[in-house]
Structure 1
């Protein structure tokens, strides 16, 4: 029993020592980042009022599910962050969910001021030797308008974010709290500062470059859109 405890303790020390560099804050080049820019306007013009109503229901549903079920949020984000080469295939299982979440963010974004400051906290440790570099989160990040927001948790790494592509989804969220801003995976940020001695936690300050990176923009062809979404965007 003692030998087992010694081995476990040694393993924990090894893990800690080998993770001091932290997770990368980079451009998340393996992520899915389609923002459907320029490939759905024709369908919108042909959309009937009944179809438009149904689409609004889908928007509300995916936002509610994303904020309600942590397992869906985690599994979906993992697939988005690593799914670049699966996007045009049925190996990516979330085309429908991804499309309506992006679409909802873009519609809600246009209804509010273009840029705002938000906050995000996590238990993850990130590499802090990244000042004056660009990054993307790679997945969808739920942030709050205050540091004490209950939509996230953790006190290891904290972000003060100026987002210009995120949207306030509080009205449709399962969490009843004002000021919940969902940031899409294609937004690019500049890391302007990192503070490791802040009383809040290790703070990473990032500002939107206001220029998205969307390697997979309009990647799906008409047949793939019809198959995966049932909607000609």
Structure 2
């Protein structure tokens, strides 16, 4: 008789110092100006991301223009991220893109998505005012080495739920109970609003307040202590002529809420309608997809197994 075994990987819960953690403080407007070129380049490198972006844009347009402080690009970025085909690959890249400036500049092909997600969360925090959430995250196949009193970060965009029973659908090998003050409720921008998702940015810091073990399962309690970033406006440090734009000084965190007054001019571009913006994004992205679709369809064979139901995968 063959007995199925489940492998659980043990990893350290630490400050995740290899992650790319830019908060774009003071340069959100400048980054917004660079988005068209960044998106064009990265959609060429990642046709699947381009396709999923178009699909998210179309879903956002069908929902109609809600009253929201977000630009269409920010809202579409959140919808794209919450598509499960995107978040896993994206977060794996975020976790290592901060190893060096060279790694970020040359090997991280999600610069536009990283900026738009960070910007969207900051915009929603500014609009809604300071608040903290008590949330849960369930993980399958991973157990974390955690010591009470340590300061840690997730080092990625971390999906959590306001409801424990929903979080546990994604796994129970480790269950986090988290007080987050940087995480934002993104239900109205999610591809799966029923998950009641609060999205935590990579740079939020937490103190481990409790660790308990029940057999092979662990529960970890975290409380927000502020933020920490190694990177600051990294993409603007040098333009193509070699001119230095910023200092890249590490940003140590703060408690509570901070408005980005220096970037308020950035929001003038929201006068464009959702329909116009979606149309522009769709046309540009489809042009990129057209150059690769023939090769992709010839080289890829998709098979489906009927009747197989898989558990939800964590983002």
TM-score, normalising length from structure 2?
0.57
Count of aligned pairs: 201
2:174 is equivalent to residue 161 of structure 1: no
2:208 is equivalent to residue 220 of structure 1: no
14, 18, 23: which one aligns with 1:35: 23
- Unaligned runs of 5+ residues in structure 2 are 33-67, 241-265, 267-315
Q: What SS class does the counterpart of residue 178 from structure 2 fall into?
A: strand
212, 216, 223: which one aligns with 1:207: 223
Q: What SS class does the counterpart of residue 73 from structure 2 fall into?
A: helix
TM-score, normalising length from structure 1?
0.76
Q: What SS class does the counterpart of residue 106 from structure 2 fall into?
A: coil
1:74: which partner in 2? 88
Q: How far is the alpha carbon of 1:157 from its aligned partner? A: 0.1
2:73 is equivalent to residue 58 of structure 1: yes
Following the alignment from structure 1 to structure 2, what is the Cα–Cα distance between the partners of residues 64 and 42?
Answer: 23
89, 114, 121: which one aligns with 2:105: 89
1:170: which partner in 2? 187
1:104: which partner in 2? 120
Contact 1:23 1:126 in 2 (8 A): yes
Following the alignment from structure 1 to structure 2, what is the Cα–Cα distance between the partners of residues 41 and 92?
Answer: 21
Name the stretch that deviates more: 188-197 or 25-34: 188-197
1:230: which partner in 2? none
Alignment of 1:176-195 (within 5 A): 176-177=193-194, 179-195=196-212
Alpha-carbon distance change, 205 to 175 in structure 1, aligned in 2, over 3 angstroms: same
Following the alignment from structure 2 to structure 1, what is the Cα–Cα distance between the partners of residues 76 and 18?
Answer: 27
Q: What SS class does the counterpart of residue 193 from structure 2 fall into?
A: coil
Q: How far is the alpha carbon of 1:39 from its aligned partner? A: 2.3
2:26 is equivalent to residue 26 of structure 1: no
